[in-house]
């Protein structure tokens, strides 16, 4: 197959196998999370079973990217029946084949059970997890086999680049993106069309399109899911960007830890080259474009665009001062546009559906959707994509299903190591770039960590600071030494060796680091501390005044004297006779939590 | 050769041959590909001892200080040998809030190796890593490519015992 004109592409699209060519499509998630719970074995079993029953002609198994419903994986979706099975085990495959696929009897025990609802959900589209979602960036994730270029083509793949090459000048493409009001999803929210325009305007013999796939936020994996679930869409978007700014070369800078994503990208690039969708004279035009992969090597700061460029050139990834911006002097000192993976994933959809379609979604200054990674104390862990302007309440209670044990959720940490906390008074706020900033947090890449009444905010802040002080590149003193000092103060506090003055020290130090650091890492590193200190000052004070309870205790009103706690305590610090109230000797308690786990009547109180 | 750790003649000839072939296959400016070359070298040798760093420096016509500067900057590169099994405990946020630190403590206790170190028997190297994208299964730990989800500190003993007994059997 060789595609040398738009017509060739259309003809090919017609010939590619489609979902409707099969009576049933069985979609099995092969994302990282499901893969680690045996989805590969499930796929093998499924194929074998279908083969045994001679069903492989009418029923097709599709290995897809992530469905987003990771906490319930492995997931199998049956189309067109619109049935989703959760937590499927290898042993369940036979029953799904024999009962559902052969006899149209749904296997009820594998359906998802909504919280507080008697019935399990028969239709996937009826699941609350999906109802409020709107999938643009994730449109193909969980729908197609990412390793099969034909499945991408069937879903209008490479039609957006075809459309612009046939109908638009580069300037017009930039106008379309500007009109859509798409803002960068890598954290800063800079308008993408404007960035392209600035890069286009600089005169140069060479320019570069760079895809930032470094994804450093330690609680976010949306970029990874897009790369694993829909790699061709990123290639297509980079081509469109290349055409717009006048670049013939694209580079993808990806974390070395993302092995599966890297392999899928490599395969996608190879497949696109083989059919002529990458290379010279794309689709018969005079536009040439090639894409190369650059590996990172485990440094968070390399997500910062100037550091990323240094790293791609083979140096230590230390940020440079801006200006000059990459749009003027980027990779090899040539004008370069650095865009995030999720930003790119929106591009083909905007081109095909029009900028007006996109700008109608969202809030006044933040258009389109945003993907969030939900984690922490929440029922439905996973990836969700919602229109900008969705409230925290909708995300945590409707999509996320609330707390797994029904406890109260006290805060959400958003924006990772650069972000801050949102407290429950603000859960009704519509989420967009500006509302988050006004609350002292930031969009970041979209990691959302849900915290309940038991979570210790000081520990969370300490966790992030440990991360940033470890990842500081060391170029500037406030960031290198300041974050270390802040970390030491926090450590002192949680070890009950601090004092009330430490709180003021933390604040002053934090403000100074923010104001005097060179790059975004240092400028935002104190945020998690400053923000938790603002909203949960009493938790800091409990440490500072050393009134924090750190040991376990037993509620005498609830204790039934079963002796289980005493028998499980590794340091034998629990006393009490059978059927009498037990006591914990706090001087000996090591706070291991064994008693808490053991107690059948929840009489043990956490510190 | 006075300085033993910089003696390049002790490097495995066959592995060097593969590394040379990789370097030869690079198109364009080879210096710019330093990080890729180091990835390849680590993949072949398991880690990046000083003599190997020197070899890479010579092959790409770079100063050895420049190469060492890059190796020490990026946490993915190891200057010390690694065990047969790398145990990576995810310290991403989702795993942290679900108690990954306790899992890591237990791993350190059971293997006797500290973070970023190799156990005395040469079997295990312990690492803490950032989110591996399996947050739904938090806390997560990987041993080489195998992923263990929803790990409790108490499960660690059993998992490590499994690898140790596998070693004993193969002896
Ligand atoms: C410390 C630091 C880490 C960053 N990490 C990332 C990252 O992992 N991925 C990303 O796309 N952008 C990251 N950024 C933002 C980039 O510098 C850059 O603004 C972004 O890639 C631009 O793409 P966008 O306009 O599409 O958002 C980071 C910035 C800083 C200061
Ligand atoms: S702020 Fe921190 S990470 Fe950024 S350049 Fe300075 S030292 Fe490096
Ligand atoms: S935080 Fe551990 S897998 Fe994401």
A120 DSSP β-pair partners: A113
Q: Whose C-alpha lies nearest to ligand 1, atom 1?
A: A521
Instruction: Point out the residue among A73, A258, A315 whose CB comes nearest to the CB of B70.
Output: A315
pLDDT band at A118 (very low <50, low <70, confident <90, very high): low
Q: For residue A593, what pLDDT is reported? A: 80
Give the best residue of B133, B139, B153, B154 to mutate against chain A (max A CB count within 10 A). B133
Residue A268 lies in a domain: yes
Please check whether residue A13 lies inside any domain of the structure: no
**Sequence-ordered list of residues with C-beta below 8 angstroms from that of A470, at least 6 positions apart, any chain:** none
Residue A31's pLDDT is 83
How would residue A173 be classed by pLDDT, with cut points 50, 70 and 90?
very high
Q: Do A225 and B133 touch (CB under 8 A)?
A: yes
| Residue B141, domain CATH | 3.40.30.10
Residue of B nearest to A472 (CA): B73
B contacts of A31 (beta carbons < 8 Å): 133
Domain membership flag for residue B80: no
CB environment A159-197: b (16+ within 10 A), e (fewer) = bbbbbbbeebebeebbbbbbebbbbbbbbebeebbebbb
CATH number (domain holding residue A563): 3.30.70.20
Q: Which of A145-159, A537-551, B129-143 has the lowest mean pLDDT?
A: B129-143
Please report which residue ranges of A456-526 form alpha helices under DSSP H. Answer: 457-471, 477, 483-494, 501-516, 520-524
One DSSP character per residue, A260-306 reads: HHHHHHHHHHHHHHHTTSSBSSGGGSS--BEEEEEE--S-GGGGSHH
| Residue that terminates a domain, selected from A529, A544, A559 | A544
pLDDT at position A522: 97
The enclosing domain of A107 has a CATH number of 3.40.30.10
- Residues B96, B40, single domain; the answer is no
Nearest CA to A257 out of B134, B120, B80 is that of B134
Neighbour-count burial of A136, counting CB atoms closer than 10 A to its CB (0-12 exposed, 13-18 middle, 19+ buried): buried
Closest atom, ligand 1, to C-alpha of A190: 25
Confidence of residue A119 (pLDDT cuts 50, 70, 90): low
Mean pLDDT for chain A overall: 94
CB pairs under 8 A between A and B: 122
B141 touches chain A (CB under 8 A): no
* Domain-located, residue A338: yes
Yes or no: say if A209 and A337 are a contact pair by the CB < 8 Å rule: yes
pLDDT-derived band of residue B2, with 50, 70 and 90 as boundaries? low
> Are residues A275 and A166 part of one domain?
yes
Please state the domain count of chain B: 2
Least confident span in A194-208, A314-328, A440-454: A440-454
Q: Is the pLDDT of residue A280 over 70?
A: yes
Structural domain boundaries, residue B41:
2-73
Decide: helix, strand or coil at residue A42.
Answer: helix
| Helix runs in A104-180, H state only | 128-131, 149-154, 159-167, 170-180
Is residue A183 located within the same domain as residue A238? yes
Q: Which element (helix H / strand E) includes A192? A: helix A192-201
CATH number at residue A418: 3.10.20.600
For residue A213, give the nearest of A228, A191, A193, A200 by alpha carbon: A228
- Domain containing A410: what range? 369-452
Co-location of B124 and B165 in the same domain: yes
Structural domain count, chain A: 5
Task: Write the pLDDT tens digit of every residue in B52-73.
Answer: 999 999 999 999 999 999 999 9
A351 and A219 in one domain?
Answer: yes
Q: Indicate whether B149 belongs to any domain.
A: yes
Whether A382 and A420 share a structural domain: yes
Instruction: Say if B67 is an interface residue toward chain A (CB within 8 Å).
Output: no
Partner-chain residue, chosen from B93, B131, B134, that has the shortest CB–CB distance to A36: B134
Q: Do both A215 and A276 map to the same domain?
A: yes
**Any domain includes A182:** yes
Tell me which of B28, B45, B73 is where a domain ends: B73
Report whether pLDDT(A214) > 70. Answer: yes
Task: Give the residue whose CA is nearest to atom 17 of ligand 1.
Answer: A304
Residues A159 and A266 in one domain: yes
User: Are residues A246 and A294 located together in one domain of the fold?
Assistant: yes
Judged by its nearest atom, the ligand closest to the C-alpha of residue A471 is 2
Instruction: Tell me whether residue A310 is in a domain.
Output: yes
pLDDT of A37 higher than 60: yes
**Residues A173 and A270 reside in one and the same domain:** yes
| The predicted structure's pLDDT at residue A71 | 81
In a domain, B93, yes or no: yes
Residues 6 or more apart whose CB falls under 8 angstroms from that of A203 comprise none
Compute how many other C-beta atoms are within 10 angstroms of the C-beta atom of residue A132: 15
Distances in whole angstroms, Cα of residue B164 to Cα of each of B80, B147, B167: 22, 17, 5
Same domain, B95 and B66: no
- B40 and B98 together in one domain: no
Q: Which of A544, A571, A589 is the last residue in one of the domains?
A: A544
The reply to whether A339 and A204 lie within a common domain is yes
Q: Could you tell me if residue A6 is inside a domain? A: no
- Residue A317 has its nearest CB partner, among B31, B73, B94, at B73
Q: DSSP code of A506?
A: H
More confident: A368 or B149 = A368
H or E stretch at A564: helix A564-568
ipTM, two decimals, is 0.91
Do the bridges between strand A249-254 and strand A208-213 make them parallel or antiparallel, or are there none, so unpaired? Answer: parallel
Q: Is B164 within the bounds of a domain? A: yes
């Amino acid at each position: 197959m060789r595609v040398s004109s738009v017509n060739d592409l259309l003809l090919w699209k017609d010939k590619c196998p489609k979902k409707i060519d099969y009576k049933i499509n069985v979609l099995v998630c092969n994302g990282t999370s499901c893969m680690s719970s045996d989805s590969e074995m499930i796929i093998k079993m499924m194929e074998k079973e279908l083969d045994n029953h001679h069903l492989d002609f009418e029923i097709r198994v599709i290995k897809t990217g992530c469905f987003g419903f990771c906490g319930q994986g492995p997931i199998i979706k049956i189309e067109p029946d619109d049935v989703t099975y959760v937590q499927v085990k290898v042993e369940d495959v036979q029953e799904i084949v024999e009962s559902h696929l052969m006899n149209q009897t749904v296997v009820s025990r594998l359906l998802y059970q909504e919280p507080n609802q008697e019935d399990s959900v028969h239709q996937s589209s009826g699941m609350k997890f999906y109802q409020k979602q709107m999938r643009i960036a994730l449109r193909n994730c969980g729908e197609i086999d990412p390793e099969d270029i034909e499945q991408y083509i069937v879903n209008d793949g490479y039609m957006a680049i075809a459309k612009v090459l046939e109908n638009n000048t580069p300037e017009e493409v930039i106008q379309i993106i500007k009109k859509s009001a798409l803002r960068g999803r890598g954290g800063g929210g800079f308008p993408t069309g404007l960035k392209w325009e600035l890069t286009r305007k600089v005169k140069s013999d060479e320019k570069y399109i760079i895809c930032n796939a470094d994804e450093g936020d330690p609680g976010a994996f949306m970029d990874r899911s897009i790369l694993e679930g829909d790699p061709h869409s990123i290639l297509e978007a980079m081509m469109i960007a290349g055409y717009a700014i006048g670049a013939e070369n694209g580079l993808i800078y990806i974390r070395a830890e993302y092995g599966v994503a890297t392999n899928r990208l490599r395969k996608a690039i190879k497949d696109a080259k083989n059919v002529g969708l990458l290379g010279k004279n794309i689709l018969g035009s005079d536009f040439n474009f090639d894409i190369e992969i650059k590996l990172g090597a485990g440094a968070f700061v390399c997500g910062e665009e100037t550091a990323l460029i240094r790293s791609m050139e083979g140096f230590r990834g230390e940020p440079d001062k801006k200006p000059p911006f990459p749009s003027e002097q980027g990779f090899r000192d040539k004008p370069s546009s650095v865009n995030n993976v999720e930003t790119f994933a929106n591009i083909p959809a905007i081109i095909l559906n029009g900028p007006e379609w996109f700008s109608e979604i969202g809030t006044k200054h933040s258009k389109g959707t945003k993907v969030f990674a939900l984690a922490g104390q929440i029922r439905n862990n996973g990836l969700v994509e919602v229109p900008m302007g969705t409230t925290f309440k909708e995300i945590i209670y409707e999509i996320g299903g609330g707390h797994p044990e029904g406890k109260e959720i006290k805060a959400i940490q958003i924006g990772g190591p650069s972000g801050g906390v949102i407290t429950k008074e603000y859960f009704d706020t519509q989420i967009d770039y500006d509302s988050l900033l006004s609350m002292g947090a930031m969009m970041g890449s979209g990691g959302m960590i849900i915290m309940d009444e038991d979570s210790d905010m000081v520990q969370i802040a300490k966790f992030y600071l440990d991360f940033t002080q470890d990842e500081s590149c060391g170029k500037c003193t406030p960031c290198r030494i300041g974050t270390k000092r802040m970390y030491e103060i926090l450590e002192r506090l949680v070890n009950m060796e601090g004092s009330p003055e430490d709180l003021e020290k933390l604040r002053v130090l934090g403000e100074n680091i923010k104001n005097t650091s060179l790059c975004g890492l240092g400028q935002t590193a104190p945020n998690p501390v400053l923000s938790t200190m603002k909203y949960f000052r009493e938790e800091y004070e409990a440490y500072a005044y050393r009134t924090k309870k750190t040991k376990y205790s037993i509620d005498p009103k609830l204790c039934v004297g079963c002796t289980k706690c005493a028998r499980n305590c590794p340091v034998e610090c629990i006393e009490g006779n059978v059927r009498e109230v037990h006591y914990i000797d706090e001087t000996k308690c090591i706070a291991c939590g064994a008693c808490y786990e053991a107690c059948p009547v929840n009489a043990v109180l956490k510190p | 050769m006075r300085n033993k750790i910089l003696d390049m003649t002790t490097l495995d000839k066959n592995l060097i041959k593969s590394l040379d072939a990789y370097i030869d296959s690079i198109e364009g400016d080879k210096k710019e590909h330093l990080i890729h070359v180091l990835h390849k070298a680590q993949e072949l040798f398991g880690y990046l001892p000083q003599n190997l760093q020197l070899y890479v420096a010579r092959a790409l016509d770079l100063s050895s200080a420049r190469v060492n500067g890059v190796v020490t900057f990026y946490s993915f590169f190891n200057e010390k040998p690694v065990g047969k099994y790398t145990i990576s405990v995810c310290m991403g946020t989702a795993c942290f809030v679900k108690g990954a630190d306790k899992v890591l403590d237990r791993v350190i206790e059971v293997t006797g190796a500290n973070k970023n170190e190799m156990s005395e028997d040469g079997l295990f190297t312990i690492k803490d890593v950032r989110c591996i994208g399996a947050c739904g299964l938090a806390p997560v730990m990987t041993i080489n490519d195998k992923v263990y989800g929803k790990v409790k500190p108490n499960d660690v003993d059993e998992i490590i015992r499994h690898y140790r007994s596998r070693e004993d059997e193969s002896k």
